[in-house]
Amino acid sequence: MDKYSKLFEPMTFKSGVKTDNRIVMAPMTHYSSNDDGTVSEAELRYYAERSNGPGVVITACANVTANGKAFPGQPGAHVDSMIEGMRKLAETIQKNGSKAVLQIHHGGRECPPELVPDGDVVSASAVDSSNGNVHARALTDEETAEIVRAYGEATRRAIEAGFDGVEIHGANGYLIQQFFSPFTNRRDDRWGGSLEKRLAFPLAVVDAVKKAVSEHTRRPFLVGYRLSPEEPYEPGITMDETFALLDALVEKDLDYLHISLQDFWSNARRGGDPGRSRIEQILERVDGKVPVIGVGSLHTGEDVLKAMETGVPLVALGRELIMEPHWVEKIRAGKEDEIQTALRKDDRERLVIPEPLWNGIVSRPGWFPFES
């Protein structure tokens, strides 16, 4: 275990929340909550199997309004009746020592019409969904402000449910990113136009969340923010615009920034230095002012050690913790050779993977590696 001692150094976040290691379970959609958004028994079993090791477990994204639901089986955090199930989820994660963080989310233009009231899909502007199948309408000024307030209310529910923190989902093309991106934000009011105005919605959400924390709890409570560092299309977010977002977020006294990458080592496309990895440029820009969580196709202990050599203080594992729920325990016990890095066709029950998630994995060849 000495080789991996760096992974097991304790850490205290700005808020005072403490964790005994540097491994985070990444937020992953599991499609397994009840149809009404309440927490299911299958969901609880799934997290129970994976929370005996990571210092922090971040849940699947929970929608903050009824019209923010982007996935079947998505958990909800938009009404007080959700709190009871949320409490069970927090307690399940915390039972073996992990900190429980609720990811809060609005899908915006990516919400399927059949999952939102009256099929009314909304976004920063009137734009099509990424697959071109749905046309979203632009939110009004008051509707936009109401969604900002909803993030604060979802935070209050997370506090009442006993979570250790929330992560604001500002990544992967969902509503917060839609407001920041020049591709999806074509407004000319206080919520869009210039780069500064495209920052208004993400920063207002952060302020609403921080306000809820200050008003509803005195115990240490994490506030993190997840972002995608750039977009592949034009006009879209560039690395230079990502730097502007990072600069603004650093001023918000957050506990961490979580950089959503499919590949930890991927290079920048536009802006910044295209010959260097995004994560290294982000670390330079943040300059240690806020802890950064890195993620993206890391599977083995060696992968994580190499990632930490960049200076990233925390590493999140996503698909790997589905394939190997006891990754942290095996590293700690010196059994890294026993870590599973590919699925077998009969793994679902043994790995406690909910059936809807398993069906999604099987139906998307290439998403997860399978042993031949």
Per residue in 50-99, pLDDT (tens digit) is 999 999 999 999 999 999 999 999 999 999 999 999 999 999 999 989 99
> Coil, strand or helix: which one is 314?
strand
For residue range 14-39, list pLDDT tens digits in order.
Answer: 999 999 999 999 999 999 999 999 99
Return the residue matching tokens 């890391």: 298
Q: Domain coordinates of the chain in residue numbers?
A: 2-362
Q: Catalytic residue numbers?
A: 174
Tokens of 194: 């210039």
Question: How does residue 1 score in pLDDT terms, banded at 50, 70 and 90?
Answer: low
What is the distance between the alpha carbons of residues 78 and 156, in angstroms, rounded to a whole number?
10
Q: Which of 75, 77, 258, 60 is nearest to 151 (CA)?
A: 77
For residue range 184-239, list pLDDT tens digits in order.
Answer: 999 999 999 999 999 999 999 999 999 999 999 999 999 999 999 999 989 999 99
DSSP 68: G
What's the average model confidence in pLDDT over 343-350? Answer: 96
What is the distance between the alpha carbons of residues 324 and 338, in angstroms, rounded to a whole number?
9
Judge whether 325 and 317 are in contact, CB under 8 Å.
no
Separation in Å, CA 352 to CA 98, 124, 264, 318, 323: 18, 38, 27, 15, 10
CATH 3.40.50.920 fits 2-362, yes or no: no
What's the average model confidence in pLDDT over 315-338? Answer: 97
What is the distance between the alpha carbons of residues 114 and 117, in angstroms, rounded to a whole number?
8
Residue 189's CB is within 10 A of a number of other CB atoms, namely 12
What is the distance between the alpha carbons of residues 320 and 297, in angstroms, rounded to a whole number?
8
Given the DSSP bridges, would you call strands 99-105 and 62-63 parallel, antiparallel or unpaired?
parallel
Entry pTM: 0.98
Tokens of 130: 């990424």
